Amino acid sequence: MITKQIRKWLVSGFLILLASSTVSAQTFVFTAIPDEDETKLVERFRGIADYLSEQLEVDVRYIPVKSYAAAISAFRNNQVQLAWFGGLSGVQARALVPGSEALAQGVEDQAFYNYFIAHKSTGLERGDELPEGVRGKTFTFGSKGSTSGRLIPEYHIRQRFGEAPESVFSRVGYSGNHTRTLRLVESGTYEVGALNYKVWEKELEDGNINTDDVRIIWKTPGFPNYQWTIRGDVDARFGEGFTDRVRQALLDLDDPALLESFPREGFIPASNDDYEPIRSVAKDIGIID
Amino acid sequence: MFSYPTVRASFLFLAIAVAGLLVADITITTANPWRDLGQFFLGVVTPNFFSTEGLLTALLRTVAFGFVGVTLGSFFGFLLALLYRFMPVRIFCAFIRAIHELFWALIFLQFFGFHPLTGVLAIAIPYAGIFAKVYSEILDESDPEPAQLLPKGTHAIAAFLYARIPDCWVQLRTYTAYRLECGLRSSAILGFVGLPTLGFYLESSFSQGMYSDAGAMLILFYVLIATMPLWVRPKVLPVYILAAPFFLGEGFPIVWGNVERFFTEDIVPAPLRNGEGLAAFSSWLGDVMVSEALPGIWNTVVLTQIALVATGILSLLAFPLISKHFGGPVRRTSGHVFLVIARSTPEYILAYILLQLWGPSMLPAVVALALHNGGIIGHLIGRQTNTIHLRPDAPQGFARYSWELVPRVYRSFLAFLFYRWEIIMRETAILGILGIYTLGFYVDSAIQNIQFDRAMILILITALLNIGVDILGRYIRRKLALQTMPTC
């Protein structure tokens, strides 16, 4: 009975394997940093894969990864040719892959910002600067390699207190992504956290935040963030002008549902130099050599 | 009582663990840990088997990676076992098994990327080191007499095959089958770093609070492990072994330039790579030691000692659950189910679950390590008590437990515990990836910052620490004259 069931599984597994598309040399593969809940990312980027496939007339595939570093490594190792990076991961990736370039960013990514949020039990109120009262509280970043979840919050904490986060707070954690930061501060696991404003606003709009339990205590100044980055050698592999076609396809993207899933108003051209501020901050903090 | 060396050793370790508790970070930081735990158990009893289209594929991949990894590991482990009397081979084996599967996976991911070879080697390499050691121990214990009776001039290979192997064949087979079960567990957790096995989906469901989906995956995994005797049969084993490589998935092609770059550039310490000289290198190394390695070592050791003693206490509390000297068949059956679940769940997954529920501190790690290892040792000791025949007028209840059974099994209990010391430390280091500040935390941070030179130094330190504990454990076992059989 059980062996029969297992045989069935094996057969069905085999069929799945046959049915799933194999990666040929001409598949254009991209990834994205895992900054939010995976289900949302898979849904969003499968849509992007279908769109790009139609526009570029090549097979396009999205692969999900488990960490920011895995996204950078896959890009560096040419297992993906395009990636949706954060500010910091983009800077790190482009430093490792000579010739790669930032193609396009969201309209909002020119001046992105962060929210510091706090659990109600702290009694902290919103201020024009990071409240002194956060000292001694427990604090969570997002992912270790995140721009808005780690780099920018750490920069501002150091600016405000002149100390490392570990000595300002009683406990410092890394939740993994922005959605989890929100959930952990909302439930009181951490008293204070910092996250990407887009995630906060989208969750608020969808009715997923209990604003009695968690509130914004500070909004950071703007900084350049997310962008699409492409490897320099794709033209050689996919044909002359391929980079320009990818850029054009991204700039032309106007499907409201797809844009809403990011959420971005639309995409505009970006260049490597736009991210110089991120690079210098990362160097100051010692995240990059 | 203190005149017994085993008792003195026990109290010494207990005292170290209590001192460790004073400096360790043990708290529950979540606001509603019990509500979350309740939701998790609700998820387990209302499993959703149809959440992910990829679930069956993930299960298949888990089995495939397990089979291929363990097969290669046992093949090369056997070859190494034949050379195990040579010191360099022993050191090599001790080194490769001191590095955890997940660390191997993190290393291979950097240059093989998402190619099946990453997962296969991550299992095969440390397993080869463990197989070499255990196979050689088994071979050494085989009866030398049959070989001595062979006529002069018998070929060494023939003598080996016909006089040595038959004598220990059953033990070799039992141990290999047991490691296959461990291999499935290792394969499952590789998903946590992105390989396409069960852990991949388990991590996704858990981090999003989809407990019914996670519950379904855990149940499928238990069923897979529990039914192994039914579907892993000697007759069909060759079929599985031949078929498994075809079920690893496609992954992405290997770019060999990446491999070369990793070894010639990435892992060369930054100051040397940039030609800044030895002075810069020593200050770089000093920085790694002071800010990462030393705190990591301290936390790893503290957590290991607490977890070791917690494992011991739990084992002693748990073994009566399956002992025939206590309770009726109903209690023993439920005890069995509990211990099977405790030892079938990899520590990494247990720690991950508890961290989600209780928040980050050493507590979830201690509980996870104690549950998993205590489940294993409790099971072994409990089985051992079933071979003990008590007098018909032996005392009942607690007196039977404390005066009749515990003293009889205490030595083998200690032997198992010290055997697992090194294993507990290896796991403790890796739990750092989940956010507890052990060595794994600093390794993961270095990898997240794309500083593979730092990561490699820290992995080397972790390996040396494990080897040190392994040697110390063996020394203590020898001092106390404790005998062990290998467990994983």
- pLDDT tens readout for residues A28-52: 999 999 988 888 898 899 999 999 9
Strand partners, A117: A193, A216
> Looking at residue A1, what is its pLDDT?
46
Under CATH, which architecture does the B50-266 domain have? Orthogonal Bundle (1.10)
Distance of CA B270 to the CA centre of its chain: 33
Task: Please list the rounded mean pLDDT of every run of 10 residues in chain B (488 residues).
Answer: 86 96 85 78 88 82 96 97 94 95 95 92 97 92 83 84 88 91 95 92 84 90 90 90 90 85 92 90 94 96 97 95 86 88 89 85 94 94 91 88 92 92 95 93 92 95 95 91 64
In sequence order, the 6+-apart residues with CB closer than 8 A to the CB of B368 are B347, B348, B350, B351, B353, B354, B431
3-state SS assignment for residue A32: strand
Residues of A in contact with B227 (CB under 8 A): 2
For the CA atoms of A255, A260, A264, A270, the dihedral, rounded to the nearest 10 degrees, stands at -40
Write down the pTM of the prediction: 0.88
The residues of chain B that CATH labels 1.10.3720.10 are 1-31+273-488, 50-266
| C-alpha dist (Å) from residue B194 to A14, A175, A236 | 21, 18, 29
Confidence tier at A11 by pLDDT (50, 70, 90): very low
Yes or no, beta carbons of A3 and B60 under 8 Å apart: no
Q: Alpha helices, DSSP H only, in B141-275?
A: 145-148, 156-159, 165-190, 198-207, 211-226, 228-231, 237-243, 256-261, 270-273
Which residue of chain B is at minimal alpha-carbon distance from A286? B449
Residues of A in contact with B251 (CB under 8 A): 23
The CATH class that applies to domain B1-31+273-488 reads mainly alpha
Would you state the structure tokens that stand for residue B255, as one six-digit string? 């770019």
Confidence tier at A20 by pLDDT (50, 70, 90): very low
Q: Which of A39, A74, A171 sits opposite B208 (nearest CB)?
A: A39
Separation between Cα atoms, residue B425 and residue B442, nearest integer Å: 16
> Looking at residue A7, what is its pLDDT?
52
B315 and B343 Cβ atoms separated by less than 8 Å: no
Which of A9, A189, A231, A237 is the mutation pick for testing B, counting most B CBs within 10 A?
A189
Which of B34, B35, B40, B114 is the mutation pick for testing A, counting most A CBs within 10 A?
B114
B369 and B424 Cβ atoms separated by less than 8 Å: yes
Choose among B373, B375, B371: nearest CA to B339: B375
B435 and B360 Cβ atoms separated by less than 8 Å: yes
**Domains of chain A, each with CATH number or no CATH:** 23-109+224-285 (3.40.190.10), 113-219 (3.40.190.10)
Q: Summarize pLDDT for A94-130 with one digit per residue, the tens.
A: 999 999 999 999 999 999 999 999 999 999 999 999 9
Q: Summarize pLDDT for B314-371 with one digit per residue, the tens.
A: 999 999 999 988 878 888 889 988 998 888 888 999 998 888 788 888 999 999 999 9
Is the bond preceding residue A263 a cis peptide, omega within 30 degrees? yes
Distance from CA of A129 to the nearest CA of B (A): 27
